[in-house]
Amino acid sequence: MAGERLFMGIDVSTTAVKALLIDGSGAVVGQASAPLTLSTPLPLWAEQHPADWWAGAVTSIRSALTAANVSGDAVAAIGLTGQMHGLVALDAHGQVVRPAILWNDQRTAKQCDEIRQRVGRERLIQITGNDALPGFTAPKILWVAEHEPEVYARMRHILLPKDYLRFRLTGAYAMDKADGSGTILFDLRARDWSPDVLAALDIPAEWLPPTYEGPAITGMVSEMAAGETGLRAGTPVMAGGGDQAAQAVGVGATRSGIAALTLGTSGVVFATTDAPLIEPEGRLHAFCHAVPGRWHLMGVTLSAAGSLQWYRDTLAPSDSFETLVAEAEQAPTGSDGLLFLPYLMGERTPYPDPQARGAWVGLTARHTRAHLTRAVLEGVAFSLKDTFELMRGAGLASLSETRVSGGGARSMLWRRILASVLGVELASAPTTEGAAYGAALLAGVGAGAWPDVDTATQAAQAAQEAIGGGVFLSVQPDPADEAVYTPLYTQYRALYLALKPTFDALAVL
């Protein structure tokens, strides 16, 4: 590998900081991760400290270099990705002024109402492509202004999680356009900050960094960062993309007609569009893509694999995920009429409701742990089907292929359930590390290894398939399972409306 140029992708997810190295063919040659913990100081709150991201990045970068048996000199360029929407607030000296408020934090329902009032709900959707939801960045800024005025008075820079790593790597304040559009401070069509929205919300424009297309260079690794990470000083750092846009690059969902389904902590359905396509009610997210000049529609289940993680950690901490899923495979399709609502952190699509709660419905004495586990897997699949139905209604009925990735997608049972619930073929993903892999591809495009993102994804998928690197066999829907899931989905759809008064009452209590 001596003398070969490598490209690194760094992913700041909710659970870990990952670093991944690819060569000029797109093959993965080294990767590593460092775990992160989530802080929930109050119900519905979710925070992390940016210092932990940097410590995790240092560890994973050095470990990935070791795994590839190379020095930092071999890395020609770096791409960044990470969890979207989180508020990272810095003072004039670049110091963090409070823990980051994350994408799955649900404290800002009041501020969302205020944004709708100040901007106008329809006008907000038409400018930004989105309604105001608690997970987004803008309401978090208003929450800090109202509840922590002393912190707000110190704020001078607003970044997103991966862009804090960019700042620590390069000293530059910068952001990519895909992640920027997820703040709902963006003009979706103009692909940059909206002066009208910023003015309506009294957010100083100078607090927000310049934005760049995914493959663009935003800075160089500093001498200080090089000393900590083992990277070479002067290595270019590309803009990259929010985790879902980078994930889509990683699995090749860069062209219209291809959807990406990510089964991570959250569950995401992502469909590329050639022009801004806005769902009039704002029930789907419309963002810029990490691919220059493209956009995408997206729906989110806040607790997807996160539901299984909670279930294991809370009810079966001594058992592995593999043990639980093997048990679930023995339970019948439909879990003998047991349904699970995965609204453990509120919900986003199709119900933008921070008060929504998780639930098992239909429990009887005959249900076993295997039924409970399988119901969790099926409930997440039903939630993702909600997004597919909205996309079909918005005019994307011609989706020709769905590519699945993410940690939860390692389970063959879960993939079979998803295929039958959604009624679609789930195609191979070139790698299970989609976001970090996509960031590495964007780095390679920016460094000239490939002329554009489409070429990079095609070459990379061919390379991964040639070596069998993490490729899944395609999964077809099972007609017998579909016959069970179709009426169950109708019952699942009715549960939210039936239980909403109870959810709201419990939130007050």
Please give the Cα distance from 102 to 38 (Å, whole number).
9
Cα distance between residue 79 and residue 176, in whole Å: 11
Q: Residues 250, 437: contact at Cβ < 8 Å?
A: yes
* Position 260, amino acid: A
What is the rounded CA–CA span in Å between residue 329 and residue 291? 39
**Helices within 171-260 (DSSP H only):** 177-181, 195-200, 223-229, 243-251
CA gap 238, 58 in Å, rounded: 18
Amino acid at 128: T
Q: Which two tokens stand for residue 355?
A: 């008060």
| DSSP state string for 374-416 | HHHHHHHHHHHHHHHHHHHHTT-TT--EEEEESGGGG-HHHHH
Report whether 9 contacts 460 (CB < 8 A).
no
Cα–Cα distance, 250 to 470 (Å, whole number): 12
Q: Are 319 and 312 in contact (CB under 8 A)?
A: yes
> 176 catalytic, yes or no?
no
Among 52, 105, 187, 243, the one annotated catalytic: 243
- Nearest residue to 258 (alpha-carbon basis) of 272, 247, 246: 272
Longest dimension (CA), the chain: 65
CA angle 196, 199, 204 (to 5 degrees): 125
Output the six-digit token pair for 313.
């950690």
**Mind giving me the DSSP string for 39-92?**
B-SSTT--EE-HHHHHHHHHHHHHHHHHHHT--BTTEEEEEEEE-SS-BEEE-T
Question: How many whole angstroms separate alpha carbon 275 and alpha carbon 129?
Answer: 12
Strand 295-301: give its sheet, edge to edge. Answer: 285-288, 295-301, 267-273, 258-263, 401-405, 426-427
Q: How far apart are CA 237 and CA 170, in angstroms?
A: 8
Q: How far apart are CA 380 and CA 309, in angstroms?
A: 12
Q: Just list the catalytic residues.
A: 243
